[in-house]
Structure 1
Amino acid sequence: MSFVTNPILPGFNPDPSIVRVEDDYYIATSTFEWFPGVQIHHSRDLKNWRLLPHPLTRKSQLDMLGDPDSGGVWAPCLSYDNGTFYLIYTDVKSHIGPFKDTHNYLITANDIMGPWSEPVYLNSSGFDPSLFHDDDGRKWLVNMVWDHRKNKNSFGGILLQEYSPEEKKLIGPIHNIFKGTKLGLTEAPHLYKHNDYYYLMTAEGGTRYEHAVTVARSKSLFGPYEVDPTGPILTSSGKPELELQKAGHASLVHTQTNELYLVHLTGRPLKPSMNCNLGRETAIQKGVWTEDGWLRLANGTTSPDAKVELPSLPECPFEREPETDHFDGEELSIHFSSLRVPFTEEWVSIKERPGYLRLKGRESFSSSHTQSLIARRQQAFSISAETVVEFEPETFQQMAGLVYYYNSRNYYYLWISHDEELGKCIGIMASDQGVYTEPLETLVSIDGWNQVFLKADLHYEELQFYFSEDGINWTKIGPVLDASKISDDHVELKKGGTLLDQGFTGAFIGVCAQDLSGRKKQADFDYFTYRERDEK
């Protein structure tokens, strides 16, 4: 008997949707405002996973220019039927306040590696769309419906409508098949068929510490759906002792050996802040069907296990990714993401100066349009990130460096710029819930340096920046910073009962360049190292 340790997809990989095609398993997860869109991981044993090329790589598939922080791609659904992969996703244009503008699309491919089609527009009535393939060949879309009216439940139920592959559109009447339970915030619907019943799995309680998975069933696709009388089948709510918190938003898969598993969203909080700077992650649990046809966890509880028994499949590990990227390939690593827009030679190149990543400075972190930022997920609590940059700023409006980033209002930035008195200099800037700081005591002249090595050491809630002229002798810069603030939990901000900011992503570490003068000053990065260390 062998086991896997959760989470199986660490770091920002939320809202998992799993599908098996013969001996291969695939999980799609949300990417929000990060481009390219939708992460797809592949496994053959449910233990070892590798990231595949993203399906949403073209602006024609995903135009997020101007999308807000934590907008963009919410809760994709990956499914397979008769030789075709189907991927449903939402592009969220607004989500704070009474209204949510949520446009739902479908793309298809004959191979999980692509190419993926141009999108088919479906609807905009709500988010978390999912496609169900019934035994008779008909296809049905379910999504939660958003109700902006003040005197109504904003999570207004789960809508069902038929999708016509031939007409490439939704057809027929719209049915509201489930209004949820008293937990509320009913979302993330997935339909399954087992024996004589249709099963509707939803997430409830919200995606924070009250998150839960509920199941209802019906002999008819259109309902009425009977809720599992025992309540949620999975939740960490009210169990602070559990390592895996925020358990919810689940998806089912049967193995080729007829074992049942569910993957689900989870978070691992730092103590004592209870902030999850690794974001919302993906975990796995073993499930069983009871004799009377209800879904249960195999551990006999409703709590997620940190270690889970694996199915009787041969182990299939993948080659480890190198820690250092020397930017000497034909394309950027699939582990790198940008904000909202595709990689184009207009602003990022590994061809103009072979062996270097060249960034041309564009807008500030405050922009939701064109930033020059390349970053990757933080996927362990204890990591280091290192780079070296050649950059000759001529004005204080030109900056480049190493950034630890959550969103436009929450980040730490080790930057190189120009000061009228110091010349070329290095310093730290930060934004905490939108409050900008730039401690003058961190400002150091590096005038005359041709290149600058930059490093970030992260250990749980502690972040320390360093700089060096030779990459051997390092100097600390600034104090130990609070890394726990780069988290969903910290960025959520309310004032007078009004929500001002909320986040659904996770911490990223990467390189960037800004040129607020509009001259597109370039910065050349020779390498980027991301190294995970043994924890505690």
Structure 2
Amino acid sequence: MIRNPILPGFNPDPSICRVGDDYYIATSTFEWYPGVQIHHSRDLVNWKLVRRPLERASQLDMRGNPDSCGVWAPCLSYADGQFWLVYTDVKRFDGNFKDAHNYIVTSPTIEGEWSEPVYVNSSGFDPSLFHDEDGRKWFVNMQWNHRTESYGGSPKSPAFDGILLQEWDPQTKALKGPIKNIFAGSPLGLVEGPHLFRKNGWYYLTTAEGGTGYDHAVTMARSRNIDGPYELHPNRHLITSKDNPEAALQRAGHGQYVETPDGQVYHTHLCGRPLPPKRRCTLGRETALQKCAWREDGWLYLENGTVVPDIEVPGLGGAVRAEKPVRSEYSFDGGKLPDDFQWLRTPRPERIFNLTERPGHLRLIGRESIGSWFEQALVARRQEHHSFRAETVVEFAPDTYQQVAGLTHYYNRHKFHAVVVTLHEKLGRCVTIFSCDGDYPHGRMSFPAEAGVAIPADGRVQLSMEIRENDLQFFWQTEGKGAWQPIGPVLDAGVVSDEGGRGEHGSFTGAFAGVFAFDTSGRAKTADFDWFNYEEL
């Protein structure tokens, strides 16, 4: 059986692509660098991260991008002997505009170096490239309307002004021909995330609708002509949990169709697993996979006979699920950042960290404050479990309170908790807590441990945190001296979630556990981290 979510933790907007017996899923990374996660599987059960292809400034530079901007909804496909990756870099979040720029990169292999980007358009986000049977290529994306009235889309959600179609010329590397608005969406509204495929003389279009919160859905339509008109699925939606609040997988929507070599059919979708009592998805939007079936009416349906996604679905047969280790230990050896880790926005990681100046250590270079949109030394891995423990050890000798290094449970600049080593005028070197519980738009911090606890002036300090669903407790100890000491009160870990602070449509990423340093004096004080452990509880 395939057990959902197949990609736990922050892995939204899954685009799936099969080449022979190999399956690849590309997911959104938003402001986290490098851009786009690509996982690989041969059995649909076990998945491994194999590439983050957007790794150079010429491909992606997100310095200055607001929270939850950056890479939205990539589309991965294979044609003409190469992989094609279409992606958006969104430069604005609040207000009437999005400033969404769409690009294409290619590579003969997933693991190899990807090409320089080709700019396509900026009319809206969630772009997709469809390779038709006759060799023509078609580019689709939602159209963003900055006004309050809609002509091509839904009056209910006028900014989401329908799905645009235009031909892509691979020779000139440009769009050509007329631009057509081919699909206004269903009455649910907020139409986005388009993907096209062709079967038995029909063009099928799946879109995401309802917003990416609890009304989310995969909507399906079809037409004999690629430019429409498109008729809606008899159920309107192929996948949704919007009318089933007790379903284990909530917020189900935004995915893509795939066929196996022997004709079995599946559909990816994003989902969330909310925690009671506030229904906050602390793991963000995750990737799931559903078994589907074609019926005599020529429409695709979930194999379970409903529109509600299942936790377990039939797989290809013969696969053995490889259980992931309960504990992951990272030593920072080998001069390369472990694959699980990312950083924020900048294509110049050498400015914020290195693993060579002190071999076996992750050296963070203190730059701008925690929450900066430009140059922030924060390196972290995804939270993949509702309850976990993270530990690290740091060598850090601050000479001003403007120099800080520590361990953080992080979502964005408005939603984080951190246990830190810094300097206090009366206490000297100390351990304390920074916390931001969703205060928007100001991002004001509180200090739950007040000035903190005095610690020796030198020596390594171990920091840890335990998250048990909605509760977080920080701990510290000087290495080799005594036991772990709790610091501060139990904090609200649930605020570090999509729904924390502004609510379910206020942000779209997920929770991370990681280390950070900043030096707002501008002297670039460094902090050395010897190891980092993450353990499911």
- TM-score, normalised by the number of residues in structure 2: 0.95
Q: Report the secondary structure of 1:351's partner residue.
A: coil
Query: In structure 2, what residue type is equivalent to 1:34?
Result: W
Q: Which residue of 2 aligns with 1:487?
A: 497
Task: Tell me how far 1:462 sits from its aligned partner.
Answer: 1.3
Q: Find the residue that maps to 1:345 and give its secondary structure.
A: helix
CA distance in structure 2 between the partners assigned to 1:30 and 1:135 by the alignment: 28
Structure 2 distance, partners of 1:473, 1:259, is 55
Match of 1:71 in 2: 69
Task: Give the SS at the match of 1:526.
Answer: strand
Q: CA deviation at 1:479?
A: 1.2
Q: Which residue in the other structure is 2:332 paired with? A: 327
Is it true that 1:294 corresponds to 2:305 in the alignment?
A: no
Shift of 1:315: 4.2
1:434-473 correspondence runs (5 A): 434-441=443-450, 443-470=452-479, 473=483
Matches of 2:502 and 2:28, distance apart in 1: 19
- The DSSP-based 3-state class of the residue aligned with 1:233 is strand
Decide whether the 8 Å contact of 1:442 with 1:478 is kept in 2. no
The match for 1:169 is: 174
Q: What letter corresponds to residue 432 of structure 2 in structure 1?
A: G
Residue segments in structure 1 that go unaligned for 5+ positions in a row = 495-500
- Measured in 2, the distance between the counterparts of 1:229 and 1:451 equals 63
Give 1:49 shift: 0.5
Partner residue of 2:512 out of 508, 515, 519: 508
Letter aligned with residue 181 of structure 2: N
Does structure 1 retain, via aligned residues, the 8 Å contact 2:327–2:535?
no
Deviation at 1:429, TM superposition (A): 0.9
Deviation at 1:447, TM superposition (A): 2.9
Deviation at 1:314, TM superposition (A): 4.3
- Measured in 2, the distance between the counterparts of 1:325 and 1:481 equals 26
Query: For residue 58 of structure 2, what is the amino acid of its counterpart?
Result: S
Counterpart of 2:153 in structure 1 is none
Aligned to 2:16: 18
Other-structure match for 2:147: 149
**Alignment partner of 1:406 out of 408, 411, 435:** 411
* Cα deviation code 1:301-330 (max 9, x no counterpart): 010101111123544759869711111123
1:154-303 aligned within 5 A: 154-303=159-308
Paired residues in the alignment total 525
Q: Report if aligned partners of 2:219, 2:239 keep a CA contact under 8 Å in 1.
A: yes
Question: What is the rounded CA distance, in whole Å, between the counterparts of 1:51 and 1:216 in structure 2?
Answer: 32
Match of 1:347 in 2: 352
Question: Which residue number in structure 2 is paired with residue 526 of structure 1?
Answer: 530
Structure 1 pair 313–106 and aligned structure 2 pair: CA distance change class (3 A): farther
Output aligned runs, 1:58-137, within 5 Å: 58-137=56-135
Q: Name the amino acid aligned to 1:420.
A: E
Amino acid at match of 2:365: K
**Is the 1:24–1:42 Cα contact (8 Å) retained in structure 2?**
yes
Query: Is residue 32 of structure 1 aligned with residue 42 of structure 2?
Result: no
**Cα deviation digits, residues 241-274 of structure 1 (max 9, x gap):** 1110000002111011210001100000011110
| Gap change, CA 1:447 and 1:406, over 3 Å in 2 | same
Deviates more, 1:411-420 or 1:229-238: 229-238
Is contact 2:449-2:489 (8 Å) kept?
A: no
Letter in 2 for 1:45: D
| Letter of the structure 2 residue corresponding to residue 485 of structure 1 | V
CA distance in 2: counterparts of 1:318 and 1:305, whole angstroms = 20
Partners of 1:493 and 1:275 lie apart in 2 by 9
The answer for the alignment partner of 1:498 in structure 2 is: none
DSSP-derived class of the 1:474 partner: strand
CA contact (8 A) 1:48 1:318 kept: no
Judge which range, 58-67 or 319-328, deviates more.
319-328
Contact between 2:45 and 2:319, CA under 8 Å: does it hold in 1?
A: no
Q: Could you say which residue in structure 2 is the equivalent of 1:55?
A: 53
Question: 1:134 and 1:493 mapped to 2: Cα distance?
Answer: 40
The separation in 2 between residues aligned to 1:35 and 1:104, in whole angstroms, is: 17
Moved over 4 A (4+): 313-322
Write the distance in 2 (CA, Å) between the matches of 1:366 and 1:465: 20
SS of structure 2 residue aligned to 1:379: coil
Query: 1:491: how far off?
Result: 2.9
Amino acid of the structure 1 residue aligned with 2:205 = L
Query: Contact between 2:449 and 2:488, CA under 8 Å: does it hold in 1?
Result: no
Deviation of residue 365 (structure 1)?
2.0
Q: Structure 2: which 5+ residue stretches go unaligned?
A: 151-157
* CA distance in 1 between partners of 2:254 and 2:523 (Å): 45
Determine if the alignment matches structure 1 residue 336 to structure 2 residue 336.
no
Q: Secondary structure at the match of 2:499?
A: helix
- Partner residue in 1 for 2:155: none
Q: Post-superposition shift, 1:334?
A: 1.8
* Percent of residue pairs identical: 55
Instruction: State the distance in 2 between where 1:262 and 1:178 align.
Output: 21
CA gap of 1:59–1:321, structure 2 versus 1, over 3 A, is farther
In the TM superposition, what whole-angstrom CA distance separates every residue of 1:431-475 from its partner, at most 9, and x where no partner exists? 122342013546100132411000011111111110011266100
Aligned partners of 1:382 and 1:459 also within 8 Å: yes
SS class of match (1:273): coil
Deviation of residue 343 (structure 1)?
A: 5.3
Q: Is residue 393 of structure 2 the alignment partner of residue 388 of structure 1?
A: yes
Matched to 1:513, the amino acid is A
Letter aligned with residue 111 of structure 1: T
AA of the residue aligned to 1:145: Q
Tell whether the 8 Å contact from 1:228 to 1:294 is kept in structure 2 after alignment: yes
Distance in 2 of aligned mates of 1:383 and 1:343: 31
Q: Supply the distance in 2 between the matched residues of 1:283 and 1:82 (Cα, whole angstroms).
A: 29
Contact conserved, 1:449 with 1:469, CA < 8 A, in 2?
Answer: no
Write the deviation string for residues 476-526 of structure 1: whole angstroms up to 9, x where unpaired: 0111111110011113269xxxxxx82100001100000000000010000
- For residues 315 and 46 of structure 1, what CA distance do their matches in structure 2 show? 11
Q: Cα offset for 1:234?
A: 1.0
- Change in Cα spacing, 1:488 to 1:459, as seen in structure 2 (3 Å) is same
SS at 2:358 equivalent: coil
